[in-house]
Amino acid sequence: MKQILKKNMHQLTLDEAKKRLFNGQLVIFPTETVYGIGANANDKDAIKSIYEIKKRPTSNPLICHFANIEDIERNFILKDKDYELAKAFWPGPLTLILEKKKNSKISLLTSNNQKFVGCRIPNNEIALSLLSKLDFPLAAPSANISTRTSITSITDLDSNLKKIFHIDGGSSVLGLESTVIQTTNNGCKILRLGSLTIEEIKNKFFNYIIEIEKSKISPGNQLKHYSPNKPIRINVNYIKKNEALLNFGKNQLISNIKDMNLSVEENLIEASYNFYNYLNILDNSECSGIAVAPIPNSGLGETINDRLKRASYKNE
Ligand code: TXA
Ligand code: MG
């Protein structure tokens, strides 16, 4: 009985979300990486309202979310390597930059007037059910104000964004954003590090040459990004008075305000899952700043360190 009730509630929420999206409104929905704010990718005005509410410059393009590869094929040209990566990692935390076909109805505003658009199929039941009810893709950036931390649970949603219709899907299972990738003749280029690690790609495609784009950074790879309100200090070996501590592994570090440990066992999957939520809890504590213990720079640790570097970036 309880199960049926839950299923019906679910249907009602999804129907409401669908109605709103058809009307050009926004919906916040869960994915396996982080929550997204979605709008009809074909509707210029709806897309415009995403940029406005997030205070995001329109020069920073949005990712389009699809329910299946057939819908992507209708809108985009996929090369052999795109298919290889898609087959290996979709649904999942892979965003592929693909060339839009001439007949695609996806608004130019989604991608800053470029014909290359980020696309992904999320691995989340609610997101997939919602997408399969629509006859358009969902353009969806992370559900946060621009330059702030992404959110992995509705409780961490910014108060200004709470007025948007949101679907609570519990905690995001991965916790870090998708990896943004463009394929090349001999492999691929990582435009943004993410939940899909370079090691995972290498394990499947050992002949790929994998580059990490550092010079022409992905438009969203701003130096200052993913940051809490409080100042943040990384790779610390001591904690200042009144600093909160985001710890990792077993050590002697201690805060007089609040400590949270991403993973006592030094498990980077667990650390990724906890990352944004713990950062948010510490940010809301009575601390003067957040000190972060060193995190190994491999696998998901590389992505966490990328986020921390941007979060701690100071405009001189
Ligand atoms: O996991 C995710 O990717 C989440 C969930 C909601 O899917 N979305 C997300 O979107 O993180 P957003 O907008 O916060 O970040 C998208 C990143 C930005 O760094 C953006 O610059 C890059 O992807 N991106 C999007 N379209 C691009 C394009 N056409 N060319 C290069 N980079 C692009
Ligand atoms: Mg974002």
Mean pLDDT computed over 200-212: 97
Nearest residue (CA) to ligand 1, atom 19: 220
Q: Which of 26, 72, 180, 225 to mutate to test the pocket of ligand 1 (most atoms within 8 A of CB)?
A: 180
Strand, helix or coil for residue 263: coil
199: which 2 tokens?
């090691």
Helix ranges restricted to H, 121-197: 125-132
189: which 2 tokens?
């280029």
Q: Which of 179, 218, 225, 273 to mutate to test the pocket of ligand 1 (most atoms within 8 A of CB)?
A: 218
Query: Residues 264-286: pLDDT tens digits?
Result: 999 999 999 999 999 999 999 99
pLDDT confidence bin for 316, thresholds 50/70/90: very low
pLDDT confidence bin for 4, thresholds 50/70/90: low
Report all structural domains of the chain as residue ranges with CATH numbers, in order of start: 2-212 (3.90.870.10), 232-311 (3.40.50.11030)
pLDDT of residue 213: 87
pLDDT of residue 2: 62
Query: Residues 168-188: pLDDT tens digits?
Result: 999 999 999 999 999 999 999
* Angstrom distance (rounded) from CA 150 to CA 270: 17
Residues with CB under 5 A from ligand 2 (ion): 142
* Angstrom distance (rounded) from CA 268 to CA 225: 21
Report whether pLDDT(315) > 60: no
What's the CA-to-centroid distance between 226 and ligand 2, angstroms?
7
275: which 2 tokens?
């990352």
The distance in angstroms from the start CA to the end CA of the chain is 59
106: which 2 tokens?
């996806």
The ligand whose atoms approach the alpha carbon of 226 most closely is: 2
Assess contact for 168 and 288: CB atoms under 8 A. Answer: no
